Amino acid sequence: MLRRLDLRGPLGDLRAVLPRPTTGGDGPLNAVRGIIADVRERGDTALRELTARFDGVDLETVVVDPADVASAPARIDPAVLGALEVAAAAIRRHHEGQLRAEHRTDDDGLCVRSLSRPVERAGCYAPGGRAAYPSTVLMTVVPARVAGVEVVVLCVPPGPDGRVADVTLAAAAVAGVDAVYAVGGAQAVAAMAYGTASIPAVDVIAGPGNVYVALAKREVAGQVGVPSAFAGPSEVVVVADATVPPEFAAVDVVVQAEHGPDGLAWLVTWDEAVADAVEAEVVRIAEAAPRRSEITATLAASGWSVLVDGPDEALAIADAIAPEHLQLMVAGAGEMAERVRNAGAVFCGPWSPASLGDYVAGPSHVLPTAGTARFAGALTVSDFTRDIHLITADRPALLRLAPHVVALAGAEGLDAHAESVRLRTAWTDGSDDG
């Protein structure tokens, strides 16, 4: 199931030669643009028609009854509810550590303060339809709540019965969502960006999804805030040596492939015997898996077993891919992790599977995909906040700094900028207050 790629020897330009999934060219993008335009023009009517077309269900309204959300925790397995509560607490604890106090600098009469302020409304997206992802509800909504966002709404595709899964609604209740809407895909992103009669426009949209969802977020960026990472189909690169049981490495290759097509699942090793053993285990695990079709589809498209010369070359491969999940199942994993440049999240050693991060470790599992870990990172509190600078100068400070303002404004040909300080330096009322 894993195709063998022998990259022993000089590596060359890895970004140019490494195979990786694509977003499918102009087809998906054009489809997304059409959906966004339709939702902007026809609002809720378009949402209902698109839901019927893509999800196969006719809905009178996309609004989920708040009472249905509030009662959902009582309808699910108590063990699952307990796990949601444990996960929510861990996510909350981690993200509370990201909150920043006011930053202030004082310099001889010039005071500059930087204040972190949450956005007013956030829209969170969780995949659904074929499967339920309550963990994604927690991983998006809880950071928004910790940031202090006043209103948090959630869009989730409806299931075949037209309902959002109880476990997803329970997660929404645990996380403290204000409203849930049974709508998915690019149409959900468009609705949150531009607003409809049922769904209010938001200030930030966060959450992972398929290629269509990820492309839609790119298209509406600027109308709303969108984290810079491409949070699309799931990815994993497992770097393994002979110190790890091959079934550990194999199951973690399969884990991310379980999400379905368009993802990426790689094994990288410098030991041919390890490659042989892990590849055999991948076949065994995949054939017995309940989601065999999703796994085999992903592995057929982008499952690779890569042979390199050593740990340095393995790290170079990982950095070139910039994967969503990077698992280092090697001796000295901690030391190797310190040298990683590009990855959404790094999991060190045999006892730290990506599944731990997917659910209960604490950091959001909304991570960069499609190589965007080169410049973007995990979803954090900062994605729901923005900095406001407060600048206060007294007259002596202005007099001290005015010549520099005049010089720079003159260099840029902006005389009015210079005049704004000239007027103040010539003022003779004797005031020393800013």
Q: Residue 134's domain is classified under what CATH number?
A: 3.40.50.1980
The pLDDT of residue 404 is 97
pLDDT in tens, 6-29: 999 998 888 778 887 766 678 899
Assigned domain for 375 exists = no
Q: What pTM does this model have? A: 0.92
The model's pLDDT over 255-271, given as tens digits with 9 standing for 90+, comes to 988 887 778 999 999 99
Amino acid 23: pLDDT: 60
Is residue 373 in a domain? Answer: no
Q: Are residues 355 and 265 in the same domain?
A: yes
Whole-angstrom distance, CA of residue 304 vs CA of residue 20? 10
Percentage of the chain exceeding pLDDT 70: 97
Rounded mean pLDDT, 282-310: 92
pLDDT of 429 higher than 70? no
Residue 183 CA to residue 154 CA, distance in Å, equals 9
- Average pLDDT on 179-206 reads 98
Calculate the average pLDDT of the chain.
94
If asked whether residues 13 and 30 sit together in one domain, one would say no
- Structural tokens at position 29: 């993008």
| 181 shares a domain with 33 | yes
For residues 122 and 132, give the distance between their C-alpha atoms in angstroms, rounded to a whole number: 21
Reference 345, options 364, 330, 326, 328; nearest CA is: 326
How many structural domains compose the chain?
A: 3
Confidence label for 434 from pLDDT (cuts 50, 70 and 90)? very low
Q: Which residues are catalytic?
A: 324-325
Residue 116 pLDDT more than 70?
Answer: yes
- 126 and 257 both lie in a single domain: no
187 pLDDT band, cuts 50/70/90, is: very high
Mean pLDDT of 99-111: 94
**Range of the structural domain that residue 17 is part of:** 3-21+233-362
pLDDT of residue 433: 52
260 shares a domain with 303: yes
Segment 404-429 mean pLDDT: 93
